[in-house]
Structure 1
Amino acid sequence: MGRRGFLVAAMLGAAWAIPVQAETGAEAAQLFGARQTIIDISLAPSGQKVAYITPNGPSAEAVYIIDLAGSGEVRPQPVFTLNDPDAEVAGCSWASDERLICQVYVIQNDAGVLLGFTRMFSVGLDGKPPQMLSQTPRASALGYMQDGGSVVALDHAGEANKILMTRRWIAEFSTGTRIANTDTGLGVEKVDVVTGRRTTAEPPKDDARYYVADEAGRIRMRIDRGTDAYGSLSPTSNYYYRPPDRNSWAPLTSVTDRNETDRGFVPVAVDSGRNVAFGFQERNGYDALYTMALDGNGQRDLVFARDDVDVDQLIRIGRQRRVVGVSYASEKRAIEYLDADLKRLASEFQQALPGKPLINIIDASADEKTLLIIASSDTDPGMIYLFNKDTRQLSELMPARQQLNGRVMGSMQPVSFPARDGTMIPAYLTLPAGSDGKGMPAIVMPHGGPSARDEWGFDWLVQFFVARGYAVLQPNYRGSTGYGDAWFGRNGFRAWETAVGDINDAGRWLIAQGTANADRLVIAGWSYGGYAALQSQVVDPELFKAVVAIAPVTDLDRLRNEARPYVNFGAVDRFIGTGPHVEQGSPARNAERFRAPVLLVHGTTDQNVGVEQSRLMERRLKGAGRAVEYIELDRQDHYIDDDLPRIRMLTEIDAFLTRTLQ
């Protein structure tokens, strides 16, 4: 397999003239706090062009293309730049070889309620102004149009420059003689990406939440979810299918929230050739992949299952989003290809590339003869390649994180440790390169969610701590997803004592193993992980000597109330539940139990966990006479995605730990 390089490193990496191995906290923060070089990347239908989103300064994004048709070295060409610090380019895909479709996301504050808005537009490679694709609501609209639509099918019935995209219809008030729109709900339109002209492909329906098309661009499934009298979403989603020879809808299945019993079959894709829907359903306590016939008989056939972890991802490629495999994570994520040719190719790539990395097919040309691939591992953020099936040439395109390319990283090892009741808890332990793993400063870092899990692979926050000399242990405590229904249990809030108990046991295990110096043991987490870090002090205030909580939940009732203005209030309310655990499981209500110094970090435009959660925790800790520091990052959301705020956060964390543990 040959390789051809492209002149992208010089353009993307020139600002990062920093030593390969950081010597100070400030240098490490610069390296690991910077956003990834490639935020999003896609392949044109011909396979001859690539478009990618990359940072443009500390908070802006730029979209570039690379034309691969020429010979020799090629340079990226700019398409457009978004310089609004409150907006981000969420993704771009190709409408044709000459036109991109991009989506922008922005958060706005409406009388104290943070609202997210999306808008879609197309832009040509000719430098002309972009064409808005989202329908702009008129001043007479009786509400906001937050959802600017999403692409349902890129190629509609072979028509050039025509796509199917969703649209939210909003009723309007009438001013006498003017005819007002009275339609409401979500429907689908056929939109010309060049002119913006549109026609209705699927009339709006109030309860509709999404539509699914098959490979031919025909709408075959609709997902409905009603609301109660207060506008809160129902716990049940109803799925409908359309037979290939009819326009009418027929019931397919119903699915309830995870905390409910008998969740049912969850369809996610349609295979028109076989006339089936692919979907996930519980089997012996674990999610498995099934197909369901779309002919009315409800026949379900098992495609792939595991008896130790959930099968949780469908692998799809190309413009038609063809289903080619299924994925699951045990100690490492694995893909079971349903396509024999791709299975063979993925194996060849893994064997040919250094370190046998994880292989993921990001995109494919229309004929699937050109593949866009990323190869990554725990110590490698990823290298992006192009593969040509005809020539069998594998070409190195660009690194996912230019500033870290070639840097020595700590290796992430799967481990397990016993909880207090003897249950073995899976985890990942990462040590600094060359360390003997004995008597070290160490960090227990529980994941967010709690409906999530950590996986083997590159993690910029873990590697930052490792670069500063810490061992990092990431426990997949009970309450995590991915390990089946029994492991998830009643979730990490309702059963916080189990989850936080497992997390504290992770710290005790590090000490017992001799890995951690007991006087330099830290707990750090983000979102639910930040909640668990704080709640660990309520349970065992002497165990950890410092606490770092980023965007943490600190009061469960406040979290519930934050959701009241939104349609997901019912889901949040059910997830948190009621009872003594709400008081006992809220760190802000138990501040007097804290002993270790605490560092809180929060963004002011966090929609997931409101900034008042950290403000409350700071007040309560100060009121109890406890040591606390608080960093508030202006105009940052839950993920703190911009370079300068993230670099500042890492710098402050490093300084806090240095002061506290010295």
Structure 2
Amino acid sequence: MFGKFLVFLGTLGISAIATAAEPTPSTLAAAFGARVGASSPALSPDGTFLVYIAPGAGQLTVAMVMNLADGTTTPITYADGKPLKLRFCGWSAADRLVCLLSGISRVDGDKLAWSRLVAVDADGKHSLPLGSQKASYAVRQNDGEVLDWMAGVDGTVLMSRGNGAERVDTRTGKGVPVKPAVSTGWTDGSGTVRITGIYGTDAKGMLNGKTTFWYRLPGRSEQKLFSHVDGNGNGLSPVAVDGTRNLAYAVQKKDGRRALYSVMLDGTMKTDLVYADPKVDVDSVETIGRHDRVIGLRYVTDKTRIVYFDAGYRALAQSLAKALPKLSDIAFVSASADEKRVLLFAESDIDSGHYFLFDRDTRKLTEVLVPRADLSGMQLSEQRSITYPAADGTLIPAYLTLPPGSTGRHIPAIVMPHGGPAARDVWGFDWLPQFFAQRGYAVIQPQFRGSTGFGEDFEKKNGFLSWPTAIGDVLDAGRWMIAQGIADPDRLGVFGWSYGGYAALQANVVDPALFKAVVAVAPVTDLYRLKADAENFTNARLVAKQVGSGPLREQGSPDHYAARFSAPVLMFHGDQDINVEIVQSRLMDAALHRAGKSSRLIIYPGLDHQLDDSAARTDLLTQADAFFSARLRTAGR
């Protein structure tokens, strides 16, 4: 997995990879279904080592440390996934790391997510739990959070622990309390919490969606009001602090879209517009280094766009774009303490991506990790940005992926709505549409109304409250595919995950004739049950508001209308899912069987909403492919 080539910035010489024999359906499913081979990489403070998370058998996760001088790797700790998995590791010193593990367990009848923080040496020795030990293991969901990684010299980090914040020596576990006593917040990058937030609750302790933010003047302990943000997201929401300039960055709506502002933390609260796009929301700020220094912002139109504030990184990004012309989506991921060594990730729609190390002193660019090595050399499909008209004339953005070498005429096709619904698809490599394109399908990913990123008018409250509009847009994506001659009317299927699974099912309630096969992964199927499943949690009021009430809730629950289905249904669900409880799929499956319809539910024991297991994902792709092939008449591919 260590890099195979090294170039000087401005030139790139990669030898062509020999074309392999045409893969079989099973080898394709295994290649695309495999978990990412390297995730959450981070450079050591001195820039000589790299830590990342690698998958093992089943749900096993392993923290690997790579010596960047020779590419050798050492496993330093692991988690078996029953229930904990390693999520990421960061460096508290050049020879010491802090790793986050999380998992799902059943407590008093409810499934709860919980996490733990562990410190370990870079050679795997001297492991030490860092979290608070004041509560019992059964009810202590979270150890805390690293708020500031500090300088990376002595192994000290600022973290929330118990009911407050502490500067913790990760070698001994001993901490020194700091003020204010917070569990989360934004720091100045040097160990001082500058902004904190308090979630609003009602008299019963239920979250109401409102948040109040407070800030501190430099060197002062008292707090001053920063902002109130209401349940609709109106108000200044902080996203980062720049301690060197004594300001915060915050997002706030402008003309119905999220814009980025700078806010002085000197007592004046002087607020200036940094960037606003006339068509889409600002997505996030770009940060780098141990102090999460803000170097730019990100927004997404048809593709991801990054505006760099930092002149040095702007120039570097421009040079990298020339050096890596086939990897057009480039992002800075991590850096050494002095930022002389920078880790970046580069991908495109037809390349699943590479991690590179750039050395500012030598101007050398070295490939260090290939997260999806099984796909190297495979001809992937271009992901085209298109728009199509909805029934009311609104132009809906979408991505269209055709099989490699296909003319895109009269072929089997799949409509693939995204999850969320408070989400959107983003241009770049995507394992699901790429797999089905390899199997001969045209895939359209509609950014239906209810998707985020396009402003509040496009979001239409959300995809549940405004489900008739969102589902109408999904159906119109299929109708457009037929009208364009891309899909034959009798060879059109639909595939969705989470809310996308809901959309796939509900589309067949609205128009039972359009789709000939339905695949839904971890779908919502009953809006009343979705509200009921949240009743024991503090977000119950927010879920109820998101789903709404009245006749549209009943009409928007596909398990109530199973008799309308004409297409066969295949569903997949993990039994440890806490995003969408497995009862949702069971209700749908039972309703379809009672109505005499074709339905099959495949359950993956021990897996959550993401089905983050190579064998399970390979099985999902294999069975979904076979299901579509049998019903969309794709035999022969």
Q: TM-score range by the shorter chain?
A: over 0.9
**Secondary structure of the corresponding residue to residue 216 of structure 1:** coil
Distance in structure 1 (CA, Å) of the matches to 2:499 and 2:75: 39
Check if 1:333 corresponds to 2:304: yes
Paired amino acid for 2:116:
R
Paired amino acid for 1:581:
L
Check if 1:238 corresponds to 2:215: no
Q: What's the counterpart of residue 125 of structure 1?
A: 122
Paired amino acid for 1:32:
F
Q: What's the counterpart of residue 36 of structure 2?
A: 36
Determine if contact 2:79/2:86 at 8 Å carries over to the other structure.
Answer: yes
Determine if contact 2:179/2:221 at 8 Å carries over to the other structure.
Answer: no
Check if 1:83 corresponds to 2:80: yes
Q: 1:26 to 1:126 in 2, by over 3 A?
A: closer
Distance in structure 1 (CA, Å) of the matches to 2:124 and 2:244: 40
Give structure 2 stretches of 5+ with no counterpart.
7-18
- How far has the Cα of 1:138 moved from its partner? 4.5
2:445 is matched with which residue: 467, 474, 485?
474
Distance in structure 2 (CA, Å) of the matches to 1:407 and 1:127: 36
Q: What's the counterpart of residue 11 of structure 2?
A: none
- How far has the Cα of 1:296 moved from its partner? 2.7
- How far has the Cα of 1:76 moved from its partner? 1.1
Q: What's the counterpart of residue 116 of structure 1?
A: 113
Distance in structure 1 (CA, Å) of the matches to 2:217 and 2:430: 44
Check if 1:418 corresponds to 2:389: yes
Distance in structure 1 (CA, Å) of the matches to 2:533 and 2:254: 35
Q: Deviations over 1:66-90 (max 9, x none)?
A: 122x4xx432122122224322101
Please show how residues 427-576 of structure 1 align to structure 2 within 5 Å.
Answer: 427-576=398-547
1:201 is matched with which residue: 166, 170, 178?
178
Distance in structure 1 (CA, Å) of the matches to 2:88 and 2:456: 33
Check if 1:150 corresponds to 2:145: yes
Paired amino acid for 1:220:
R
Q: 1:65 to 1:209 in 2, by over 3 A?
A: closer
Distance in structure 1 (CA, Å) of the matches to 2:241 and 2:114: 29
- How far has the Cα of 1:386 moved from its partner? 0.4
Q: Deviations over 1:12-40 (max 9, x none)?
A: xxxxxxx9565332221111110011122
Q: 1:162 to 1:388 in 2, by over 3 A?
A: same
Q: 1:493 to 1:20 in 2, by over 3 A?
A: farther
Q: What's the counterpart of residue 190 of structure 1?
A: 167
Distance in structure 1 (CA, Å) of the matches to 2:71 and 2:479: 54
- How far has the Cα of 1:430 moved from its partner? 0.3
Q: 1:411 to 1:42 in 2, by over 3 A?
A: same
Please show how residues 22-101 of structure 1 align to structure 2 within 5 Å.
Answer: 23-68=23-68, 70=69, 73-101=70-98
Determine if contact 1:210/1:224 at 8 Å carries over to the other structure.
Answer: no
- How far has the Cα of 1:357 moved from its partner? 1.6
Q: Deviations over 1:437-484 (max 9, x none)?
A: 000100000000000011101101111111111000000011100000
Q: 1:4 to 1:369 in 2, by over 3 A?
A: farther
Distance in structure 1 (CA, Å) of the matches to 2:71 and 2:529: 54
**Secondary structure of the corresponding residue to residue 28 of structure 1:** helix
Q: What's the counterpart of residue 267 of structure 2?
A: 296
Q: What's the counterpart of residue 9 of structure 1?
A: none
- How far has the Cα of 1:199 moved from its partner? 2.1
1:638 is matched with which residue: 589, 609, 612?
609
Q: 1:28 to 1:270 in 2, by over 3 A?
A: same
Q: 1:349 to 1:203 in 2, by over 3 A?
A: closer
Determine if contact 1:40/1:54 at 8 Å carries over to the other structure.
Answer: no
Check if 1:161 corresponds to 2:137: no
Larger mean CA deviation between 187-196 and 350-359 belongs to 350-359
Paired amino acid for 1:219:
V
Give structure 1 stretches of 5+ with no counterpart.
7-18, 170-186
Q: 1:21 to 1:36 in 2, by over 3 A?
A: farther
Q: Deviations over 1:456-515 (max 9, x none)?
A: 011011111111110000000111000001001121101100000000000000000000
Distance in structure 2 (CA, Å) of the matches to 1:249 and 1:48: 40
Paired amino acid for 1:49:
F
Distance in structure 1 (CA, Å) of the matches to 2:394 and 2:192: 49
**Secondary structure of the corresponding residue to residue 65 of structure 2:** strand
Larger mean CA deviation between 618-627 and 121-130 belongs to 121-130
Determine if contact 2:134/2:162 at 8 Å carries over to the other structure.
Answer: no
Q: What's the counterpart of residue 196 of structure 2?
A: 222
Q: Deviations over 1:385-410 (max 9, x none)?
A: 00011111111112121111221101
Of all paired residues, the percent bearing the same amino acid is 43
Determine if contact 1:280/1:287 at 8 Å carries over to the other structure.
Answer: yes
**Secondary structure of the corresponding residue to residue 397 of structure 1:** strand
- How far has the Cα of 1:221 moved from its partner? 0.8
Determine if contact 2:501/2:519 at 8 Å carries over to the other structure.
Answer: yes
Determine if contact 2:94/2:153 at 8 Å carries over to the other structure.
Answer: no
- How far has the Cα of 1:202 moved from its partner? 3.1
Q: Deviations over 1:403-438 (max 9, x none)?
A: 112211011000000111111100000011100000
Q: What's the counterpart of residue 295 of structure 2?
A: 324
Q: What's the counterpart of residue 180 of structure 1?
A: none
Paired amino acid for 1:147:
N
Q: Deviations over 1:24-64 (max 9, x none)?
A: 32221111110011122100011111111101223201111
Provide the alpha-carbon RMSD of the alignment.
1.7
Determine if contact 2:180/2:221 at 8 Å carries over to the other structure.
Answer: no
Paired amino acid for 1:52:
Y
- How far has the Cα of 1:4 moved from its partner? 6.3
Distance in structure 2 (CA, Å) of the matches to 1:306 and 1:575: 27
Distance in structure 2 (CA, Å) of the matches to 1:447 and 1:419: 17
Q: What's the counterpart of residue 284 of structure 2?
A: 313
Paired amino acid for 2:297:
V
Distance in structure 1 (CA, Å) of the matches to 2:497 and 2:131: 34
Q: 1:59 to 1:159 in 2, by over 3 A?
A: closer
Distance in structure 2 (CA, Å) of the matches to 1:22 and 1:168: 56
Distance in structure 2 (CA, Å) of the matches to 1:51 and 1:625: 53
Distance in structure 2 (CA, Å) of the matches to 1:578 and 1:22: 52
Q: What's the counterpart of residue 100 of structure 2?
A: 103
Determine if contact 1:21/1:408 at 8 Å carries over to the other structure.
Answer: no
Check if 1:213 corresponds to 2:187: yes
Distance in structure 2 (CA, Å) of the matches to 1:242 and 1:162: 23
Q: Deviations over 1:585-636 (max 9, x none)?
A: 0101111111100011111000000000000000000011111111011111
Paired amino acid for 1:246:
R
- How far has the Cα of 1:144 moved from its partner? 1.5
**Secondary structure of the corresponding residue to residue 179 of structure 2:** strand
**Secondary structure of the corresponding residue to residue 122 of structure 1:** strand
Determine if contact 2:97/2:120 at 8 Å carries over to the other structure.
Answer: yes
Determine if contact 1:209/1:224 at 8 Å carries over to the other structure.
Answer: no
Determine if contact 2:81/2:103 at 8 Å carries over to the other structure.
Answer: no
Distance in structure 2 (CA, Å) of the matches to 1:644 and 1:159: 41
